[in-house]
């Protein structure tokens, strides 16, 4: 059984349907890149999985039916969401933001949470160094690390990460992407990574899901030449705006 199983998923903003008949199975322990041009539906897919968007169709996580579950319930079931724009609290310190991440684990012992904080600090030492600094004073890369770290403190099994490269310098993006495999292994995670930066995503992901206009147009291993060809097809065949914004994107 896959960790996440989606069948016939449709999602809409008001009356406008933006995801059409999505079927997707994500195996435990995988890093899956969700790729596509601007407006392809990447953000909407992540939002639909955790019920922050109105959906129909079937969504199962670890065998549990997600239909009718609130985003908070879904988070407690083990799906962490790092939204585009990060969603950390700018006025709170780094440490306060991290501790807020653990709020969905009321039964966790203080020692368990401290162990997780130590693990976070091993991976992102800068978050220890800046623990008393306000989150709003962090650089873009540090803020993204904080957002991911905060989501990890909830101990998710599946982490949805939306466009982590947004607004980051290329070097910072490289460094951040280099951590995803390490994070997957250290935290026993499955990761769904929605990204415009296809080149880097293909390096860290095992599989890629290519979206175009709200539909999956290809799903396959990242080292499969067919995946690379499909990706080039999307970007070369896409609209001018998306080709420009993904100029470093194709493999
Ligand atoms: P980007 O990389 O630009 O974030 P994306 O692949 O994540 O793009 P989505 O943001 O999921 O794409 O957008 C999918 C479709 O949904 C687009 O047609 C977009 O215009 C529409 N859309 C997104 N957000 C809203 C919203 N809040 N209200 C109405 N339509 C929306």
Contact 61, 158 (CB under 8 A): yes
Q: Ligand 1: distance of its center to the CA of 251 in Å?
A: 24
Nearest CA to ligand 1 atom 28: 13
Please state which CATH number belongs to domain 2-250.
3.40.50.300
pLDDT of 13 reads 94
Instruction: Give the tens place of pLDDT for each residue, 85-114.
Output: 777 888 999 999 999 888 877 777 788 889
Q: Which atom of ligand 1 is nearest to the CA of 36?
A: 6
Instruction: Give the tens place of pLDDT for each residue, 114-162.
Output: 999 999 999 899 999 999 999 999 999 899 999 999 999 999 999 999 9
Secondary structure of residue 111 in the 3-state scheme: helix
Rounded to an integer, what is the distance from CA 113 to the centroid of its chain? Answer: 22
Nearest CA to ligand 1 atom 3: 38
Instruction: Tell me 133's DSSP state.
Output: S
58 burial level (CB within 10 Å; 0-12, 13-18, 19+) = middle
Q: Nearest to residue 87, comparing CAs of 37, 43, 129?
A: 43
Q: Where are the domains of the chain?
A: 2-250
Q: Ligand 1: distance of its center to the CA of 14 in Å?
A: 13
Q: Ligand 1: distance of its center to the CA of 40 in Å?
A: 7
Instruction: Quote the pTM value.
Output: 0.90
pLDDT of 233 reads 81
């Amino acid at each position: 059984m896959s960790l996440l199983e989606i069948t016939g998923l449709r999602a809409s903003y008001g009356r406008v349907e933006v995801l059409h008949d999505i079927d997707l199975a994500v195996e435990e322990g995988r890093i899956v890149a969700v790729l596509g041009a601007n407006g392809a539906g990447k953000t909407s897919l992540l939002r639909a999985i955790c019920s922050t968007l109105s959906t129909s169709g079937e969504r199962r996580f670890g065998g549990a039916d997600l239909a009718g579950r609130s985003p908070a319930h879904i988070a407690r079931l083990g799906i962490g969401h790092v939204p585009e724009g990060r969603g950390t609290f700018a006025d709170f310190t780094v440490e306060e933001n991290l501790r807020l991440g653990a709020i969905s684990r009321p039964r966790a012992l203080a020692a368990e949470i401290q162990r997780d904080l130590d693990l976070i600090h091993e991976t992102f030492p800068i978050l220890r160094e800046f623990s008393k600094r306000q989150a709003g004073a962090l650089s873009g890369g540090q803020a993204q690390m904080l957002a991911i770290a905060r989501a990890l403190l909830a101990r998710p099994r599946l982490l949805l990460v939306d466009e982590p490269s947004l607004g980051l310098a290329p070097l910072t993006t490289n460094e951040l992407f280099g951590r995803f495999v390490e994070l997957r292994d250290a935290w026993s995670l499955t990761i769904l990574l929605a990204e415009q930066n296809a080149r880097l995503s293909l390096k860290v992901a095992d599989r890629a899901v290519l979206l175009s206009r709200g539909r999956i147009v290809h799903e396959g291993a990242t080292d499969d030449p067919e995946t690379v060809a499909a990706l080039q097809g999307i970007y070369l065949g896409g609209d001018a705006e998306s080709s420009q914004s993904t100029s470093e994107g194709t493999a």
